[in-house]
Amino acid sequence: MDAKLHVSPSPHLKGNLSTRGIMLDVIIALCPAAIAACVIFGLRSLVLIAVCVATCVLLEYISRKIMKRDTTIGDLSAVVTGLLLALNLPVDINPLIAMFGCLIAIVVVKQMFGGIGMNFVNPALAARIVLLVSFPSAMMHWVPALGAPQAAAIDATTAATPLAAAPGVYSYVDLLIGRCGGSIGEVCAAALILGGVYLVIRRVISPIIPCVYLGTAAVMSLIVGLDPLYQLLSGGLLLGAIFMATDYTTSPVTKWGKVIFAVGCGFFSILLRAYSNMPEGVSFSILLMNILVPLIERATVPRTLGFVKKKKGAEK
Amino acid sequence: MAELSFPKRPYRTKGGVHAPHNKHTAHKESVVMPAPAMVALPMTQHIGVPCKPIVKVGETVDVGQQIAGSDAFVSAPIHASVSGKVKKIDKITMPDGSRVDAIFIESDGEMRLSPEIKPPKVDSLSDLLTAVRNSGLVGLGGAGFPASVKLNIPADKNVDTLIINVAECEPYITSDHREILENSWDVVSGIITVKEFLDIHRVIIGIEDNKPDAIKALREIADSSVDPKDEIRVLPIKASYPQGAEKILIKACTGREVPVGGLPSDAGCLVMNVGSIAFLARYLKTGIPLISRRLTVDGGCIANPVNVIAPIGTPIKDVIEFVGGYKEPPYKLIMGGPMMGISLPNDELFILKQNNAILALSEKEARDYTPSACIRCGKCLDACPMRLQPLELANAANRGDIDGLNFYHAMNCMECGCCSFICPAKRHLVQNIRLGKALMQKAKREAIAAKDKGGKK
């Protein structure tokens, strides 16, 4: 035998999963929401999505080059960040503001902390909050959606989001199919749920975080006297619960960690919605829980097979 | 003592991965390999103290004649697998990289049986243990733990269950599967011997449900009159890697957990590989010690995958030539299974006692990937059968963080490789954890050394 053999420690077989494949699944899962955005707000949504995705990928490429590190745009994570950020913006936002958001997400939050897997908060979410604080009026200017109820219109070009609108303006069906004001990706609840089901079936995400998040939010709504179903279907709650809170890097890896994390997200989301002077609380609550992830993980180390807790007073 | 019940279905085990089964050789009759021109028998073919040669260069030996042994408790003697002349005793490099002495025997092609061979007389447990020791038997499933030590259960341990390991969860390997189909009576007679002498009244044969023909064959015998009290039952378990790992199999068969750092006997179980138990039965009948074994020769580069019964010490090259050679130059040559086996630097090494497979894998099958950054997907946690956190362990190992390794129970890792298999970023998780475990042992040794030094002052 002349050919040289490869030698390496076991295992010698590898599974078929890849980072790129997972990211591709997330992109596929976001497609219904993106398509719904184009239908509801017109093709301007598609332009916004294209701007954000292209900027994110470009910035990722440039920042890796400047830092003299391997290019990572092939793993598609920058595409996911761009797509998520776009879905979190109002349709008529100035593209420059959107691009500034991409800069915050990719360069400041993601690459400066070491790139994929190292960011301590969700890049798209952090960028959204920076934009919300920096450009409040642009970020909360909602154009009327296709077929939205007349009563929701504030004037010819502005509509109220379900959370700011008077009770009774939007029906559950309006919320489900996206006949309401809001960020382009958050309005159509049905599309988001479809994407979430896809992710769970493909085993990209575990259903623990979305289910516990939504469950906690529903219970909290009852406690503070809000309509649970209306709260779940409106605003960014579904987008947050299915796509933001389940971000691998910024959510716990342990099972009970996921539960604690999701309970915290649900609790703070509704608390902020009910009592803060901002209409929306999802971004802030997920961001807050992101920061707590290392502590939650440390407290929820799973019991290894055969591990017996030493009883107090037992002999050594 | 409470009556032991048999589980109707296996207990739930966590984790594991769905590695491709690739059991191409399951339905092919094993072929017996004739004596090769030369065999080499290394002095360590078991866990424990290496043997010392008791033959001299130039001496003529017969098949089954003991050629090396040791007085140590944890050891197993080595017997000549061919008849012929001892050519040389020289150091060879083992698959794990260690250098050990090996006895090279030039075969005279006669395969002349040693006149000393006769069936052992076994009337008591101590007779059985002596016989097992003399047979040179080690765990044939891959670990190579001397069987005489395993069967010698300390008096303070209450072992009530014998588990026969036929999970054979590693891809490609079918040597245990063929053992059952070809020698099912040996398996059952070995079980009966062990259970009588050790006074065990519950025998569970744990077998993966991807071998329906073997399950049927074993059930037919176990349900017959050879087992009147119905103390031997076959338990099909889910076909998933690593169901055959000792601790996982005990959990699946009995619901018990082996304590961290403990042995199967701490959970009241004795686990034996099916090949070992069948060999034991044959040895008691014929007295021929462990001189040959069945191993699977497979992989994308092997022209004719099949199980071979080869004399121990046969050069791997000869075995592969015997089955028809390579179809294409192999990318990796593996001794053992693809999940836990050792990749070999060349095919000039020799078949060992515990060697259950030789796999010549193509690049398509055993491709190496460049690892990328951890995305913290947590799939390694879901895959870990020991419920550890491989990503944290690998990180701690990379940092050289002994406290971190301890905190996440690195020593409970059995190195099955599920984490590295599943990782979408293709990170070398189990490889790093192995290094971490070595670091921990080094730190422990240093701590003991420092303490001894302190004591002398």
Provide the number of CB pairs (under 8 Å) joining chain A to chain B. 160
Cβ neighbour number for residue B155 with a 10 Å cutoff: 5
Asked if A15 reaches chain B (Cβ–Cβ under 8 Å), the answer is yes
Domain co-membership, B143 together with B257: yes
- What ipTM was estimated for this complex? 0.90
A72 occurs within a structural domain: yes
Between β-strands B332-335 and B357-361, what pairing exists: parallel, antiparallel or unpaired?
A: antiparallel
Query: In B226-344, where do the E strands start and end?
Result: 232-237, 269-273, 292-298, 306-311, 332-335, 342-344
Asked if B171 reaches chain A (Cβ–Cβ under 8 Å), the answer is yes
* Smallest Cα distance from A307 to chain B, Å: 5
Q: Which of B270, B286, B302 is the endpoint of a domain?
A: B286
Quick check: B370 and B363 in contact, CB under 8 A? no
Asked if A171 reaches chain B (Cβ–Cβ under 8 Å), the answer is no
A9 occurs within a structural domain: no
Q: What is the pTM of this model?
A: 0.91
A32 occurs within a structural domain: yes
- Domain with residue A204: its CATH number is 1.10.3430
Asked if B327 reaches chain A (Cβ–Cβ under 8 Å), the answer is no
Domain co-membership, B144 together with B273: yes
B414 occurs within a structural domain: yes
B356 occurs within a structural domain: no
Q: Give residue A159's pLDDT.
A: 73
Q: Which of B261, B286, B311 is the endpoint of a domain?
A: B286
Burial B324-355 (b: 16+ CB within 10 A, else e): eebeeebbbbbbbbbbbbbbbeebebbbbbbb
- Going from the first residue of chain A to its last (316 residues), give the mean pLDDT of each consecutive group of 10, the final group possibly shorter: 80 93 97 94 94 97 94 94 96 94 96 92 95 90 78 69 80 88 91 97 95 97 93 92 95 96 96 86 94 95 84 49
B260 occurs within a structural domain: yes
Residues of A in contact with B375 (CB under 8 A): 19, 22, 77, 116-117, 248-249
Residues of A in contact with B373 (CB under 8 A): 72, 114-118
Distance CA B148, CA B290 (A): 13
Which of the 8 DSSP states describes residue A236? T
Mutation site for B-interface testing, chosen from A5, A22, A116 by largest number of B Cβ within 10 Å:
A5
Q: Do A118 and B430 touch (CB under 8 A)?
A: no
Domain co-membership, B270 together with B151: yes
Q: Do B347 and A18 touch (CB under 8 A)?
A: no
Query: In B26-154, where do the E strands start and end?
Result: 31-32, 38-42, 52-53, 60-61, 66-69, 78-79, 84-93, 99-107
Q: Do A248 and B340 touch (CB under 8 A)?
A: no
Least CB–CB distance from A304: residue in B260, B366, B431: B260
> B410: nearest CA in chain A?
A304
Residues of B in contact with A304 (CB under 8 A): 260, 386-388, 409, 412
Q: What is the DSSP string of A197-219?
A: HHHHHTTSS-THHHHHHHHHHHH
Quick check: B289 and B123 in contact, CB under 8 A? no
Which stretches of chain B drop beneath a pLDDT of 70? 1-3, 454-457
The range of the structural domain enclosing residue A234 comes to 20-299
> B384: nearest CA in chain A?
A304
Distance CA B217, CA B207 (A): 12
Q: Do B251 and A305 touch (CB under 8 A)?
A: yes
Task: Name the strand (E) or helix (H) holding A119.
Answer: none
Q: Give residue A156's pLDDT.
A: 63
Handedness of CA A110, A113, A119, A123 (dihedral sign): negative
Q: Give residue A157's pLDDT.
A: 67
Asked if A158 reaches chain B (Cβ–Cβ under 8 Å), the answer is no
Distance CA B301, CA B299 (A): 5
Q: Give residue B58's pLDDT.
A: 93
Q: Give residue A313's pLDDT.
A: 52
Query: In B133-178, where do the E strands start and end?
Result: 161-166
Which strands sit side by side in the sheet containing B38-42, from one edge to the other?
A: B38-42, B99-107, B84-93, B60-61
* Closest C-alpha among B142, B141, B148 to residue B77: B148
Q: Which of B286, B321, B354 is the endpoint of a domain?
A: B286
Q: Give residue A144's pLDDT.
A: 79
How is residue B423 written in tokens?
């990782």
Mutation site for B-interface testing, chosen from A4, A6, A10 by largest number of B Cβ within 10 Å:
A10
Q: What is the DSSP string of B352-415?
A: -TT--EEEEE-TTTS------------HHHHH-TT---HHHHHHHHHHT-HHHHHHTTGGG---
Quick check: B181 and B168 in contact, CB under 8 A? no
For A96-136, the pLDDT digits (tens) are: 999 999 999 999 999 999 999 999 999 999 999 999 999 98
- Domain with residue B235: its CATH number is 3.40.50.11540
Domain co-membership, B271 together with B392: no
Residues of B in contact with A118 (CB under 8 A): 373
Q: Do B330 and A5 touch (CB under 8 A)?
A: yes
Q: Do A253 and B420 touch (CB under 8 A)?
A: no
Distance CA A67, CA A55 (A): 18
A3 occurs within a structural domain: no
A186 occurs within a structural domain: yes
Count of structural domains within chain B: 2
* Smallest Cα distance from B106 to chain A, Å: 23
Which strands sit side by side in the sheet containing B52-53, from one edge to the other?
A: B52-53, B66-69, B78-79
Q: Give residue B203's pLDDT.
A: 94
Q: Do B339 and A21 touch (CB under 8 A)?
A: no
* Smallest Cα distance from A109 to chain B, Å: 15
A129 occurs within a structural domain: yes
A33 occurs within a structural domain: yes
Cβ neighbour number for residue A135 with a 10 Å cutoff: 16
Least CB–CB distance from A6: residue in B368, B415, B423: B368
Q: Do B387 and A1 touch (CB under 8 A)?
A: no
C-alpha B350, offset from chain centre: 16
Least CB–CB distance from A14: residue in B317, B345, B421: B421
A61 occurs within a structural domain: yes
**Which region, left, alpha or beta, applies to residue A117 given φ > 0 means left and ψ of -120 to 50 means alpha?**
left
How is residue B222 written in tokens?
């176990």
Partner B, chain A 205-224, Cβ-Cβ below 8 Å: 206
* Smallest Cα distance from A221 to chain B, Å: 31
The range of the structural domain enclosing residue B218 comes to 125-286
